[in-house]
Structure 1
């Protein structure tokens, strides 16, 4: 009988994707639309993807799922999910009953970080901080190949810390959806950056204008890089990671890798900064690959 595969599921807002890894090699990838607002249909979609993958590959596998939220360590149910039909549900238990095997869950930013630390841009590093810069700002921490988790299941949630070393040049306060003012997410997410730039365009158009050296957009880019440098410096002062990996739509802006590293030293408590700032190797695939990596190879069989 074939050695078992590792199945990773990326449960997104619009699509649910499965990947099958054999070692570090991709053997299969499929996706289905995510049912909107229907928890039972979401469970069936995940189960259908796993069963179809096993039929195509002729072997069974472990299952890891990346979710847009967190499994509470207090009651085991989902919290902080922007797919609201998941909130309060025992997603892990329900999937284990459907699939008749253990299932591991992790936040999608954690899966991203685990992927890049396992066989991505930070492979071989013992201390990795993964960053999502997109519609929101998320993060994950991997130490010696293991996701860092704590009693509140919020490790890496740097986007809901306040912007450090704030000045008047950062603009007026803005309320975050979490109820607090001036969270990092209100500056560094795509919608946050666009709103604070006051140019009437979204983040994609803002980045394109900056790449053409349009003055107002270039100024917005410089301010973004300076705010990102301050925010990452506070992480470096706390975790001292070997590598910081950037993912999400805004991570594709080349200015980040040119402008941010020289700005870090002003705020990092060191005479030089040896932390590497890199772009994700697996891009949009990091989340689903990381879900598969929730089961290391040596735990299978």
Structure 2
């Protein structure tokens, strides 16, 4: 069987799958935040539980919230900052004592949706994550694309294009200012509401107020969609992917699929915009399935 582990910033999830993609068992636990050794220990225990409960052994693929520097294989670009500079792959090998494959979680998400999700039948899939952070993965021919720097799809750490005078660059955890993540993540959407009201609400509650006719929430949503469109317009202008697949908590807002296509059409260089924009078929489970698919060959 195929075992996939999604090592996320808030949860660690594991899945045991048949080679045809049928799921046998899924497990999930809260991530021991800022506890690097604790995370590795939990992953080992989860793999053991998946094999014990299914009575089978499996190959292991692991998606991490960052990527590995191609030569040193040290963690880089991780929103879970306790992975930065750590020999993640080496330490996982030492703890698990078995062959494994480690890739960026957004790349796993892209590969999952390309293999048996919203991207089926499309050669170039750009899979966007609008969650607590913002990122993306690229899949070509059903496989994640990395590049020589292992940085393919790092969309969330490009600057917001065409900012107006009110969009002063904000600090990002990565050390830069003005990254897309600081404008289009779920946390950024919530922070925008808080700046205008001095109240804190979760994104879901803000959306419900918008649907109920709240004028401010409607304006904040329109601004949010425009920022997503500006960021993705650079992707369309540069890569022109066959499909945009949306994941993360903000991808569950139904209005995104009504409002984003015309907003994107206004921002792209081309006079036409025919690219389909679809929600991930496997939702929050796509990353862990993509990790399992790392052994599809």
Instruction: Give the structure-1-normalised TM-score.
Output: 0.90
User: Cα–Cα, structure 1 residues 171 and 95, in superposed 2: closer, same or farther, change >3 Å?
Assistant: closer
- Conserved in 2, the CA contact under 8 Å of 1:117 and 1:142? yes
Post-superposition Cα deviations, 1:134-179, rounded to whole Å, max 9, x if no partner, equal 11111110111111112222211111111112223x5333233333
SS of 2:32 mapped into structure 1:
coil
Match status 1:38 vs 2:24 = no
CA distance in 1, matches of 2:79, 2:265: 35
Segment drifting more, 175-184 vs 156-165: 175-184
Segment drifting more, 50-59 vs 131-140: 50-59
1:183 paired residue among 151, 162, 179: 179
Describe how 1:237-252 pairs up with structure 2 within 5 A: 237-252=237-252
1:20 paired residue among 16, 21, 39: 16
CA distance in 1, matches of 2:136, 2:270: 23
Segment drifting more, 198-207 vs 284-293: 198-207
- Conserved in 2, the CA contact under 8 Å of 1:242 and 1:274? no
SS of 2:6 mapped into structure 1:
strand
**How far did residue 77 of structure 1 move?**
1.6
Residue of structure 2 in register with 1:292 after alignment: 292
CA distance in 1, matches of 2:136, 2:174: 16
Residue of structure 1 in register with 2:2 after alignment: 6
Residue of structure 1 in register with 2:222 after alignment: 222
Residue of structure 1 in register with 2:261 after alignment: 261
Residue of structure 2 in register with 1:115 after alignment: 112
Q: Which runs of 5+ in 1 are unaligned?
A: none
- Conserved in 1, the CA contact under 8 Å of 2:114 and 2:143? no
Residue of structure 2 in register with 1:78 after alignment: 75
Describe how 1:121-270 pairs up with structure 2 within 5 A: 121-168=118-165, 170-197=166-193, 198-199=196-197, 200-202=199-201, 203-270=203-270
Segment drifting more, 76-85 vs 285-294: 76-85
SS of 1:18 mapped into structure 2:
strand
User: Cα–Cα, structure 1 residues 162 and 86, in superposed 2: closer, same or farther, change >3 Å?
Assistant: closer
Post-superposition Cα deviations, 1:239-264, rounded to whole Å, max 9, x if no partner, equal 11111011111111112110111122
Residue of structure 2 in register with 1:105 after alignment: 102
Post-superposition Cα deviations, 1:231-287, rounded to whole Å, max 9, x if no partner, equal 111101111111101111111111211011112222222221121111111111111
Segment drifting more, 70-79 vs 244-253: 70-79
Instruction: Give the structure-2-normalised TM-score.
Output: 0.91
Q: CA RMSD in A?
A: 1.8
- What is the count of residue pairs matched by the alignment? 292
SS of 1:266 mapped into structure 2:
helix
